[in-house]
Amino acid sequence: MIDSKKVIRFFDDCAAGWDAGMVKNDGILEKVLDCAETGRGKSVLDIGCGTGVLFPYYLARGVSSLVGVDFSPKMAAIAAENVKGIPSCEVLCEDALSLPFRGEFDVCVVYNALPHFPDPAALIAAAFRYLKKAGTLTIAHGMSREAVNRHHRGVMEISEPLMPADDLAKLFQPYFRLTSVISDDEKYIVSGKKLQPVFSGQTGKR
């Protein structure tokens, strides 16, 4: 069982050296943002943003606004510093499951963060609330599922094993129409577009 206090403490302790140890593959990151349909004029919510590894990629694509969320105060502080002075960007140190948003974003991305959420279904349901009509949720990792699970073997108190992409896709299906399910030797990506409630007759009931 993940201990949220230990997760916060772990990432606070890692924050200062996080960017120096970051390995980025531009091709994989661009593929993630392609699957997320991130582009000019889109509003973006980055859940578990860390120090903001994806921020330059969003901005290069001309997004209209960017909100990053991380519950590690030190990670969030670095992310905020990285976009200081950019009016369209904001970083919040909050619980990603209880944000004060309803239908405000075109794109929601959870990158390299899913194993630190004890309830993936609750995360997906929260993202559904935050997204606009036909908004896109993308949950991704910049390495294979096997590599992610190897990486986390020594920190099981702060992470859950990364589930097969097909299992994550099943959790998407009550809320999202799947658009990408990719799990290979380099990356792990599940994306979907927000479904709308189906109303019957003229009663206004689902």
Domains of the chain (ranges, CATH numbers): 28-94+108-154+163-183 (3.40.50.150)
Q: Where do the DSSP E strands lie in the chain?
A: 43-47, 65-69, 89-92, 105-111, 131-141, 176-183, 188-194
Please give the Cα distance from 179 to 202 (Å, whole number): 31
- Look at residue 2 in the predicted model and tell me its pLDDT: 82
The DSSP output letter for 98 is G
Burial category of 133 from C-beta neighbours within 10 Å (exposed 0-12, middle 13-18, buried 19 and up) = exposed
Sort strands 105-111 and 131-141 into parallel, antiparallel or unpaired.
Answer: parallel
- Look at residue 174 in the predicted model and tell me its pLDDT: 94
Pick out the chain residues at pLDDT < 70: 155-156, 198-206
Angle, CA of 174, 43 and 126, to the nearest 5°: 30
pLDDT digits (tens, 9 = 90+) for 97-124: 999 999 999 999 999 999 999 999 999 9
- Look at residue 200 in the predicted model and tell me its pLDDT: 47
Q: CB under 8 Å to 23, separation ≥6 — which residues?
A: none
Question: Distances in Å between the alpha carbon of 199 and those of 36, 64, 205?
Answer: 27, 32, 5
For residue 138, give both structure tokens. Answer: 């993308």
- Look at residue 198 in the predicted model and tell me its pLDDT: 56
